[in-house]
Structure 1
Amino acid sequence: MQVAFTFLVFPCLLASYIGQAAYLTKFPEHVDQTFYKSIPSAIYWPIFVVATISAVIASQATISATFSIIKQAQALGCFPRVKIVHTSSKIFGQIYIPEINWILMVLCVVITAGFQKTTQIGNAYGLAVIAVMLVTTVLMILIMLLVWTSNIILIVTFASTFLLVELVYLSSVLFKVDQGGWAPLVIAAIFLIVMYVWHYGTVKRYEFEMQSKVSMGWILGLGPSLGLVRVPGIGFIYTELAHGVPPIFSHFVTHLPALHSVVLFVCIKYLPVNRVPTEERFLIRRIGPKEFFLYRCVVRYGYKDLHKKDENFEQNLVKNLVEYVHTQSSPEPASESTDADYNKVASYSHNIHSQSDPACSTFSASYRGDNDDEVDVQLTETFTSESILSERSTKVPQIKQVLCASHDDEGSEDESEFLARANEDGIVHIMGDVLLRCKSESNLLKRIAVNHIYAFLRRICRENSATLNIPHESLFSIGQVYLV
C-alpha cells in the first residue's frame, strides 16, 4: 500500500509543487493587473510587502513538501540515493536535499521561461492539483475499505461526494491539456518511470542476494582457515543481509588468495528514531566456531546519528566486538534461525553501488541452501583476461583442499588479545561493486529498463561508499554482475 501510494501520488505532487512554484514566480505580474490596482495608494506598499512575503512562504512550503516526499520515497526504495541533511534534532521531517533543490530551480526556470504566459502555467498547476486530489481520494477509499473496514454506506457516501466534485473539475481541466496542462503530465511520467525502474532493479538485486546467500554448512566445510591464507588485519565486509552470508563472500574466497585473520560482516540499518544510544548501536554475533574468527554486526543509526560524523566508527565497532567475546561464546546456529534482536533490524533496505559495464565472464557454482536444497548460483566475475578467470575458476571444486596458513598461536592467546593484535595490523573495508544485467532471454522492455535506465540512475546517484563515509585509502571493491 505504501509503495502504491508513492507511485501514484508522488509524481503528481512533484508536478504540482513545480507548477505552483513557477506560478508564484509569475504571480505578481498577474495580480498587478487586478488586485494591486484595487488597493488604495495609502496602504499600497504595506500590502505589496505582505503579499510578496506570502508568496515566498508559499514557495518555501512547496519546496519543503517536495523534500519530505522524496525522503519517504527513498526510504521505500522507490527513489535513487540522494543526500539528505536533517536540519533539526527535534523535528523528524525538517530536512534539506541539495540535489532536489537544484532540480526544482531548473524546472521552475524552464517552465516560467518556456510558457511566457501566466494562463498556461495556471492550467498546468490546476491539472496537477486536481490529479493529486483525485488519486488521494481513490487511495482513501481503499484504506476505508481494506484497512479501516468502514461501513459500506459511509464509503459510498464519501466516494460519491468527493469523486463527483473532483471529476467535474477534472473534466474541465482536461480541455486545457494542449494549453499548458501537458507539462505536469510529462513531469509526472518521467518521475514515475524513474521510480518504478529504480524500485524494480533494487528488488531484483535484493532477491538475487537472498537466493544466492551462502549457507552455514558451506562455511563450516571450509575449515578454520576458510580455505584461504589468513593474513593479518580485520576485514569489514558490508552487506544488506542481516541473516546469512552474502554471495560477495563466496565470490571473494573463490577468486582471491587470502583473507583477513578476522572477518566481520557489517550490516548498517537506519531506524525511524532521533538517536540510537551508543551502547545499543552494535548487535554482534559469532558465525561458526570460535577458531573461525568470523562475526556479524548489525549497526543501527537514528536519523540524526549520521554515519559520516562517526569518526570513531571503526574503533567503536572493534571495542564492542572485544566486549562481545568476553560475554558471549555461543556461535550463530547453522540453521540461521531467527533471533529476536536481528528480527527487529532485518528490514528491507537498498544500498547499492554501480560503475560502467566491464568485460566479464560467467561461472556457475552449486551451494546447499539453508533448507538443504541445492541451489545453482550464477555469478559473473570482472576480469579482462579469460586465462586468469579460467585458472581461478578451478578453485571452486578444490577450495577445501587448498593448503593455507593457519593461526598457529591461536591456542596460546586469548581471543580478545588476538582481536586487538588484528586491529593493530589494520582494517580494510570490503564492499561489493554490483552491476545488474538482464539475462539474454529477457524481453526488450526489461533490457531497456535494467541495462540502460537503471544503470544510468546507478551512475548518477550517490555512491554507497560515500553514504557510509568509507575512507578511500582502505576501501576494497569487489566487482560482480547479477543476471536477473
Structure 2
Amino acid sequence: MVIGDGILTPCISDSIVWISAAILVGLFMVQRFGAGKVGYTFAPILCIWFLFISGIGVYNFIKYDPTVLKALNPKYIIDYFKRNSLDAWISLGGVILATTGAEALFADLGHFSVWSIQISMCCVVYPSITIAYIGQASFLRKNNDLVGDTFYKSIPGPVYWPMFVVSVLAAIIASQSLISDFLHNPTIPLSRVLPLCEIVHTSPKYAGQVYVPEVNYILMLACLGVTLGFRTTAKIGNAFGIAVVFVMSITSCLLVLIMIMVWKSSLLYIIGYVVVIGFVELIYLSSVLYKFKEGGYLPLAFATILMAIMLLWNYVYKRKYYYELNNKISPERLKEIATNEKICRIPGLAMFYSELVQGIPPIFEHYVKNVPAMHSVLIFVSKKSLPISSIPVEERFLFRRIDTDGVNVYRCVARYGYRDARSEEEPFEKILIERLKDFIREDLAVNEGERLEAVAREIEVLDQACFSGVVYLIGESEVVAKQGSNLVKKIVIDQAYNFMKKNLRQSNMMLDIPHARMLKVGMIYEL
C-alpha cells in the first residue's frame, strides 16, 4: 500500500497533466543523488513553506472570523452527522486527505532519527498545518462560494506569486519524500522476496538511504501512466485516500503485534488501543472504500500485483534453497570426490560461488561428474552483505579448511558492508589470496619445525595455482516443476518464475566477476 501511496502522491501534485508529467520525469532523475542530498536541498524550502502557510493562516483568522475556534467543540461534528447522515459519512473520504503524509512517518525512520521526527512534527508541521486550516475555515465563513479553490483564493495579493512558487516546490518535495520511503531498504534481504536488483546506498551513515535504479524507473513509468490515464485529481484523490487509510490501518495492526510480543503491554491497554484507534480507522476505511469504482481500486491493484510477485518469487526461492540444503555434499562425500583416482587434478585455482554458507552445493558434484577434473586449489566462496556501512579489509574474509586429506579445499565467506565496493584499487582476488595465506599460517598450529615446513609447502601450492591461472565457477541452476506436479505449480515455477529470472539482472552482474575468467555450470533442480 505504501507503493500505491508512493505512486499516487507525485501524481496528485499538479492539476495540469503535461506539467505534472514533466515535473515527474525531473523528480525521478534526481533520485540517484540520494535522499540525504536531495533532503538537504529541499529543507530550506520546507521551512519557508511552513512559515508561509502558518502566517497566512493567522492573517485569515484575524481578518475574517476568529469565532471559527468554536468548531473545536465535538458537538458540531455530532450535529453535522445528524443533519447529513449518509452524505456526512461519505465526506470523510475527503477529510482523510487532510491527514496525508502522517502515514509515511514510519518509513522516515530510515532517513531521520526518532527525536528529529518527533520535534519537527510536534513543533513545526502539526501547528503550521492546523493554523493554516483554521485560517482557511475563517476565510470560508465569509467566502463560502470559493470552496473549490480555497487555498489560492485565501492568499493575500502581495504574497500570491511567492506562495505559488513555494507551493509547487513543496508539492515536489512531498512527492520526493514518498518516493524515498518507497525505495526504503527493507529489513528482509531483497533477494528472498524480489528478483535481483541493483541497490545503491547513497549515504555512508544511514543504511535506509538507497537508490534502486530498476525500481525508480518502474515507479516513474507507473506515475506517468496514472497521471496521463486518470488526468483528473478527483479520481487520483479517491485512490490516494484508500492507499493512505490502508497504510494507517495495517501499521496499527502491526503495532498491536509489537505491543503484545515486544512491549508486553497489559491486555486492557491493548484492548483500549484497538477499540479507540480501530474504531476511528474503520470509519474512515469504510468511507474511502465507497469510492472504490471511481479510482479507488488502483492502489489495491498495485498491492495485489506486487504481493503476487513477492509470494511467487519467495515460494520458489525457499524451495530452491531447501533443495540445495537437503542435497548438499557432505565433507565425507567431498573427500571421496577429491581422492578419487578417476578425477584428474589440473593446475590452477578455482573459486566456486555458492549461496550456501554451510556445506557444498549439489551443483559441484554435477560439475565433477560431467567434467571429471578438479583444480589443484579449490575455494568455495559465498558473498554476504551485512547491514553496516563498511567492513575493514582485514576482517572481510572468513576461511575454513575442508578436511580432504591434504587436498587443498577451502570455504570462504566474503562479507561486505553496503558501502564496500570492489575496485581496481582494492582487487578482490589479490586480497582474498593474501588473507588465505594468513589463515594458513594461523591454522597450521603444530610444533615449530613441522609448522614452518607445512606452511611453506601449502603456500607454495597456492602460489603455483595462482600462477597457473584463476577461474571463477558460477553455479547456474535452472528450476522446473518435477514430474507429477499439479498445473498451478507448473505455471508458477516453469513459466512465471523462469520468465522473471531470464528477463532481469543476472547473478554474475551482482557479483562483479571478470567475464574473461568466468565459467557457468548449469544444473536443473526438480522442485
With normalisation by structure 1, the TM-score equals 0.77
Whether 2:132 is the aligned partner of 1:132: answer no
Per the alignment, residue 15 of structure 2 pairs with 26
In the alignment, the residues of structure 2 paired with residue 251 and residue 210 of structure 1 have an alpha-carbon distance, to the nearest angstrom, of 15
Q: 1:223 to 1:54 in 2, by over 3 A?
A: closer
Q: Secondary structure at the match of 1:442?
A: coil
Q: 1:202 to 1:466 in 2, by over 3 A?
A: same
More helix by share: 2
> Of the two, which has the highest radius of gyration?
2
Superposed CA offset, 1:398-429 (max 9, x none): xxxxxxxxxxxx99971101100110111100
In the alignment, the residues of structure 1 paired with residue 180 and residue 455 of structure 2 have an alpha-carbon distance, to the nearest angstrom, of 60
**1:40 pairs with one of 153, 156, 165:** 156
CA positional deviation for 1:461: 2.5
Whether 2:465 is the aligned partner of 1:476: answer no
Q: Is the 8 A contact 1:286 1:330 kept in 2?
A: no
In the alignment, the residues of structure 2 paired with residue 309 and residue 201 of structure 1 have an alpha-carbon distance, to the nearest angstrom, of 36
Percent of aligned positions with the same letter in both sequences?
Answer: 39
Instruction: Write out aligned runs for 1:77-476 (5 A).
Output: 77-224=192-339, 227-289=342-404, 291-307=406-422, 311-329=426-444, 414-476=457-519
Q: Secondary structure at the match of 1:68?
A: coil
Superposed CA offset, 1:59-117 (max 9, x none): 11111111105x54544721221111111212222221111111111111111111121
Per the alignment, residue 184 of structure 2 pairs with 68
Superposed CA offset, 1:282-318 (max 9, x none): 1111111452111111111111112467751011111
In the alignment, the residues of structure 1 paired with residue 424 and residue 418 of structure 2 have an alpha-carbon distance, to the nearest angstrom, of 12
Q: Gapped runs of 5+ residues in structure 1?
A: 1-11, 332-409
More strand by share: 1
Q: Is the 8 A contact 1:284 1:321 kept in 2?
A: yes
CA positional deviation for 1:226: 7.2
Q: Tell me which amino acid in the other structure corresponds to 2:166.
A: V
Q: Is the 8 A contact 1:232 1:261 kept in 2?
A: yes
Q: 1:308 to 1:159 in 2, by over 3 A?
A: farther
CA positional deviation for 1:225: 5.7
Q: Is the 8 A contact 2:338 2:404 kept in 1?
A: no
Q: 1:42 to 1:162 in 2, by over 3 A?
A: same
Q: Tell me which amino acid in the other structure corresponds to 1:53.
A: L
CA positional deviation for 1:221: 2.4
Q: Secondary structure at the match of 1:446?
A: helix
Superposed CA offset, 1:258-302 (max 9, x none): 221110000111111111111111111111145211111111111
Higher mean displacement: 287-296 or 74-83:
74-83
Per the alignment, residue 17 of structure 1 pairs with 6
Q: 1:32 to 1:163 in 2, by over 3 A?
A: closer
In the alignment, the residues of structure 2 paired with residue 295 and residue 226 of structure 1 have an alpha-carbon distance, to the nearest angstrom, of 20
Aligned residues: 394
In the alignment, the residues of structure 2 paired with residue 310 and residue 225 of structure 1 have an alpha-carbon distance, to the nearest angstrom, of 41
Per the alignment, residue 100 of structure 2 pairs with none
Q: Tell me which amino acid in the other structure corresponds to 1:424.
A: F
Q: Is the 8 A contact 1:74 1:80 kept in 2?
A: no
Q: Is the 8 A contact 1:224 1:291 kept in 2?
A: no
Q: Gapped runs of 5+ residues in structure 2?
A: 21-145, 447-452
Q: 1:125 to 1:411 in 2, by over 3 A?
A: closer
Q: Is the 8 A contact 1:308 1:468 kept in 2?
A: no
CA positional deviation for 1:23: 1.1
Per the alignment, residue 47 of structure 2 pairs with none
